[in-house]
Structure 1
Amino acid sequence: MKTRSDELQVFVSVIDCGSISAAAEQVGQTPSAVSRTLSRLEAKLGTTLINRTTRRMDLTEEGRFFLERAKAILEQMDDLEERLALHHQTPSGRLRINAAAPFMLHAIVPWIGEFRRRYPDIELELNTDDLIIDLLEQSTDVAIRIGELADSSLHARSLGCSPLQVLASPAYLERHGAPRHVEDLDQHCLLGFSAPESLNQWPLRHAQGDRWGIRPHLLASSGETLRQLALAGEGIVCLSHFMTHEDIRAGRLQVLLAGANNGYRQPVHAVYYRNTQLALRIQCFLDFIQDKLSAYAC
């Protein structure tokens, strides 16, 4: 017999709640019914998932393997139900979006007109902040975060990833020449971030490793400021493709040391609290912006 979704939910609830009685209250069943469901599930799978005694429960190795995949399946089912609901309801209300200024300007603002035409009943509020914010404190529904995510209670959805490239303007290169090797960067004016220091580790392979730590001659806290400085010919910069792809296409910036690039791509995630009332607005925005980002994400 095949495993059913309600059996997966009972199994996950028992583990999350820590006891059969607590899980029974959560799923609205009696403890005996929950216990029978667990036994039936183990019988179908032909293995023991939980070692149960009168005092404690411990997952077996098979149980740990099954738990991870059961949670993923249930999350996919929730996501499918939310997507199907979009076909029967009209998303509406205020949607507050927060992102770093460069991402907002280059990856969201260009598509806002199309989004508003598609979802005219959604009222957008666009806020920028280069620091990680508290979503509840800032009354934010969804925040876009670039780079690796720290552990968090927030729900995260990957929107793709964006290559990092070393760039300079034709004007700068005409005056100073282009570096032919990674080590040549030491002879150039380098534009870097004042914080965090990790952003000054450029994704370039060299004899000692695959990242090149720079000592910036000019620092800024915002990627957009560094972009403007690079466009003005003030030095060489390393920025994400989502904010420079138009400059590269138009010839305003040129990619340098492409053969030494280690291929690192910055992950892009949307983070938000799961909330049924907001799910439709969040879901339609994330689907929309993910499709747009695919043009210049990996």
Structure 2
Amino acid sequence: MINFVVIFFCVITGVVLKKYKKLPQDSHKSVNAWLMNIALPAIALKYIPKIEWSTELIFPLLMPLFVWLGAALFIHLVAKRYAMSPATKTVLLLVSGLGNTSFLGFPLTQAYYHEEGLKIAVLCDQACFIITATFGIIVAVKASQNKKIKPSFLLKKVFSFPPFVISLCALLISIISFDISFLDPFLNIIGATLIPLALFSVGLQLSIKEWRTDIRLISYSLLYKLLLAPLLILGISIFIETSKLTHQVTILEAAMAPMVTGAIIAADYNLNPKLANMILGIGIPISLITTFIWSLII
């Protein structure tokens, strides 16, 4: 129960402080910088070396790819029905095909499945980042510039992202069975900042102004992300033998709201950022309800 109190308290605190202008404009960027560069790497370094690797972990690692491919097909069908610009189509793909597997995914996974579930959520998140840093960047660049993308550009994007680099280091530590448990007290304290600050950042970024003008596009995006994506992963899971916990966490992560980074990419490449932020602003609070429903189903 206390986990859900923390979730709502942190999100609402962010909303209130933003509304009454108690923090500088764009202060969420400073919070996100801590999360991306410090807290997320600490979580990766804490959990990945302790993971007992097996073939069943292929499922959570592939989940973000399945969700992305499903989104690409769904958005393509929607775009054929409604006339929309390449920028708008790309925004819908970015926010529908990429899940908020860390900022929301970690606290909700911990609330429902505790520390053991969080280990699986970390894998889902790292796989989701790889999709973001490759397919996400590719479609954004193509929509904004219509240029070919050099492999060196993608490699720079991937290897300049601290959580990914630290995850590779943690994976190496796991492979060679090197004991870093002496770091646990430090990692526990730093990692503990992730959940409250991530939720606080979500609250700071919520925005649903002028949503009525784009309600149809918002509805299609959230229909896929909150309902069809987890339904797709649930269907795939029928044919994959995994533990109950892996099954549950992977589907729950697939059901998360759109990824904040997807909206950031849309803004960076000037791809209808207003639509991206509205989908986030509406999708995040709704997802708190829909993920609870999914937790009951799975």
TM-score range, shorter chain: under 0.3
Q: Relative CO higher for 1 or 2, CA cutoff 8 Å, sep ≥ 6?
A: 2
Q: Which has the larger radius of gyration?
A: 1
Which structure has greater strand proportion? 1
Which structure has greater helix proportion? 2
